[in-house]
Amino acid sequence: MSISGEPWNLELEPGKKYSYLVEREFRVTNAALGEELADEKGRSVVKVAYIDPNTDDDSDDDDAAQTQIETVLCSLRAGLVEQCKLDVTFPPATELEWQVTGKNKVYLLGNFILSPDMPPYGDMSDISSDEEGYRLEDVSSDVEVPADAMDDSDEEPKLKSKKRPRESDASLPDETPDLSKLTKNQRKKLAKKLKGEDGEAVPVGGDTPAKDEKKAKKDTPSKKEKETPSKPSAAADGEKKKKGGDERTLPSGLKIRDAKLGTGPAAKKGQRLQMRYIGKLPNGKIFDKNTSGSPFVFKLGKGEVIKGWDEGLAGMQVGGERVLTIPGNLAYGPRPPKGSGIPPNATLLFEVKLLAAS
């Protein structure tokens, strides 16, 4: 389900191409000829080109990685069909190129789309302070996650097996039997079921395991093992790297802590970043968030966000999670957005997750 937001429109002049980067999801609902016609009998065809989303991003061939698809949205003819109803939606981070053939201008009309759980900027009445326990790992990494698809239960469903027990297993009693009445084969099966703390089978009756003496020798460290200090394994180093590091403070006063290091490319100035985030005040109250629906999209280092974001997200790898403690001079300073609930010169804490950088 989606909610219609503010209107969107585009005027197409013949002979020109219009490049358009989708930063907010929008829908085109209507195409129409203008009031003045340069050609009163002419035909106008509205076309749009976009990058094929099925293109292999890992390809080394730039041409293959940028396969462009061109399609026709509608065809208008002066005096016959001068407008056309449409219902075409374009997701964020899509590069479009519009053009119209013929001699007449065409006007496109539509609207931006708001996710039902994402209030418009400045309207934060549904964000309460009882979400102080929201953790960074709870933030959705999916571009679209329906609310009813989330399951708060940590327990896995228990399925009742329809498989009948084997006769050999069913013949063994639930309680410890009289060993003298068991056959040798039943004693072996019972030994497999009765395991000690080390996971080894417990001897039953006259069965004497020959593993005990070998295990005792194996558990006794040799002289060489005593003298050689243990080294951390590569897996342990990888786990430590994955979890991130300690908090560091930049000369500007911005504090950065990587809660989880990503494995994708690092964010660079001028790239379009797709983000999830939770913004908190020093007292833990959430004043803004983007945890589902369409991600927040902006260009890094172009002044489209507060300075603390432009500085604190540079070099962050895709898939990573970072905590930014931003002083007031790198946030909103003495004039925070009206209705945001942010005090003047407030230090802000953002928990962010980088979904994509392009």
pLDDT value of position 340:
87
- Using alpha carbons only, what angle is made at residue 133 by residues 130 and 134, rounded to the nearest 5 degrees? 100
Beta strands in 34-94 (DSSP E): 43-51, 68-77, 83-90
* Of 26, 256, 288, 326, catalytic: 288
Last residue of a domain, one of 96, 114, 132: 114
Residue 285: inside a domain: yes
> Nearest to residue 102, comparing CAs of 75, 81, 80, 83?
75
Residue 60: CATH number of its domain? 2.60.120.340
> Range of 55's domain?
3-114
- Residue 277 annotated as catalytic: yes
Domain annotation covers residue 131: no
Within 66-183, residue ranges assigned H as helices are 167-170
- The per-residue pLDDT for 228 is 54
CATH of the domain at 300: 3.10.50.40
Instruction: For 80, list phi and psi in degrees, rounded to 5.
Output: -120, -65
Any domain includes 188: no
Residues 78/42, Cβ–Cβ less than 8 Å: yes
Active site residue 287: yes
Q: Which of 76, 96, 114 is the last residue in one of the domains?
A: 114
Of 114, 140, 164, which marks where a domain is finished?
114
Q: What is the CA radius of gyration of the chain?
A: 32
Displacement of CA 343 from its chain's centroid (Å)? 30
pLDDT value at position 277?
Answer: 96
Residue 310 to residue 312: CA distance in whole angstroms:
6
| Catalytic residue, candidates 112, 287, 296, 298 | 287
- Is there a contact between 69 and 8 (Cβ–Cβ < 8 Å)? no
How many domains is the chain built from? 2
26, 277, 296, 298: which one is catalytic?
Answer: 277
Q: Which of 18, 117, 134, 306 is catalytic?
A: 306
90 is catalytic: no
Q: Which of 26, 112, 296, 332 is catalytic?
A: 332
Residue 295: count of CB within 10 angstroms of its CB: 23
pLDDT at 214: 55
Question: Quick check: is 258 in a domain?
Answer: yes
pLDDT in tens, the chain (358 residues): 455 668 888 999 998 989 878 888 888 999 999 888 999 888 999 999 987 655 554 545 554 456 778 899 899 998 889 999 998 888 887 888 999 999 999 999 888 886 544 444 334 334 443 444 445 555 444 434 344 444 444 444 444 444 454 544 444 444 555 666 667 777 766 666 555 555 555 555 544 445 555 555 555 555 555 555 555 555 555 554 455 678 999 999 999 999 999 999 999 999 999 999 999 999 999 999 999 999 999 999 999 999 999 999 999 999 999 999 999 999 999 999 988 889 999 999 999 999 999 9
Return d(Cα 178, Cα 208) in angstroms, integer: 18
The residue annotated as part of the active site, out of 26, 90, 112, 350, is: 350
* 208: in domain: no
* CB of 36 closer than 8 Å to CB of 80: no
Q: Is 288 a catalytic residue?
A: yes
